Structure 1
């Protein structure tokens, strides 16, 4: 059973959450109802991170306790890297707080008793030059560490972990179910079907999937995507890492390649997965392109070559690529003004996905921030959409800035990275000091 003692819950609701990463209202640390909540139950369509966090948090409140339903098939786990793999340590504060448990309990559920292999304490970076299939790192340098993040942070606090997305989602759903959330293991995609599962008379219906629900009215036509992020990601072993001398144990790396009028970016993080026990790193290369202006297969082939080439330069060897590789072209959503697309439905996944996917490695934390903001707004009787958009402002601003750095000023950015990486990456470095990376303790 999860530890939901008053002392533990109060600690998580204050110290672990109050930070500068999101514009969240101060948590009240109270369990009694305010009498203002418009709903008495909730049905959530989805089995992802945001769905689990929202379900767990609402189930801890008396307004919803015992009347929270997740409707989705069990998480399908495989070795293939689908969706994001970078788990910022800050994310775990939100997961633990929603569940009323500890960071250690969350990490143990995800990885087992020893998660140290997946931990990142320092991030390094360099411009990479490519010539006739040869990859050369121009000037590797350190641009983010876990030292001196804030006075109230313990020394050498982890910055991030590498985890397969389906493993994390499966772990959070399991913890939520153990804490009392009901899981109906069916793929129900229509509003009426979800409403039929409600365990109260005033239910909230939540869509925690990207696609709209069937059988309900559209109230806002979302704009068609103008850009896509193309990406290719694989796992690595690291038997040659020490010999190359660029990465120490628990180091992550970010490489940039300037080509064809754009800037390709990569991240490579320490990684741990029970289904791929020999893997030690994962890596991804990605690129932002205009809709209708790219050949997906060609671009993904180039990105795959780049992640393999940079990995080998760092002493990382591709591991079971046929079974672990993930390739995708994911649409970019607006950075502002996201709304519910359908009547009487909280469009959670669509709203927290605003901006360019993948490029800032913050999807796992943004979904948790959004779910937390939504839960607190609902419990206070407010429309959750403005609170979600407000809570994600800093994340979206940094996401927009990095996207435009890659698309509108690739040559200048590449030159700055080649001369002084910390200047070119000042904004992501600044995000470290606003609690967007390291955990609360």
Structure 2
């Protein structure tokens, strides 16, 4: 790490930021989750940053940066590029302090984040398809309009503000063994790691990214991952880490990990179901990396450890949240869909659905088609979506359908079918 980076972000800078922003941001709780601890085999402590006024930790860094601007720069206004949460934090505290705020967002930014940013006082400009596009346009407007650019992560005062999350966690739970931190551009993990290591030198800091945007992971490990560039965790969908933050990260981060989209969806659903709290994709990656693999056996590297997990934000669009919940019900076996071949005659559907009733399955939807596919003119393809208690109950139902002589396929999320229960 360069001397310049080490001089600009220290434990003292984070402590000063904590004093500066005290009373203007929510002092969020760090709470133990008994159920998630049982699932993961670790002792899980959750930091509820989704309880901030703008539902994300980004307020901390934005406010710390604004409070250190000279009056001349405040009066002209500031500009930023953001996928959403930085924009809301900057806009909210800018309005409180009388500082005009312009935000450039990528066009695909969820509508909820655009609306929330405008609601708290920001002037939103939509430009480009990615954060990088929005960033380049914001730097152009910075020069044209004489504004001050407030970077969402690659800025020492912003990182120091984010680091106050780590201070609070160790005030609440001083004997944490690890802190798991979502990573996009690296502002949060930089501040938290400097604070945590400054207070407790032997604590481990683990950064987590989505496998679709693994830039920090690749930089840290030297491994290459081919992401598709589409993720539920758009808050950490950054193609290039910050230059300042990568210097900090190289010294203070102990490990970088990546998680799949399915694990992020599962984590969101678990937090809603167990903790009754709404977390966006970026805020769920920390829990996602702790979850056991498909075999259900807890990950040995986390087993028995006291781990702090930062739930960084809760700004998820309602439609996406609904999709996540339903998709996870499918993964758990509680909701399923079968595609059956029935005789095209009166009573055939009633006879088949009788087996569903015998197994206490609630039929959600039934669709028919007679024309397409490899069907006889005397056959009908019927898709039945149904709900049962759990995967074991589903499998008993499918076994009964096969024993009754029905031909069918179980439809999976990926669009493929499994026919191990079929009887020909």
Question: Which is helix-richer, 1 or 2?
Answer: 2
Max Rg structure: 2
Normalised by the length of structure 1, the TM-score is 0.24
Using the size of structure 2 for normalisation, the TM-score is: 0.24
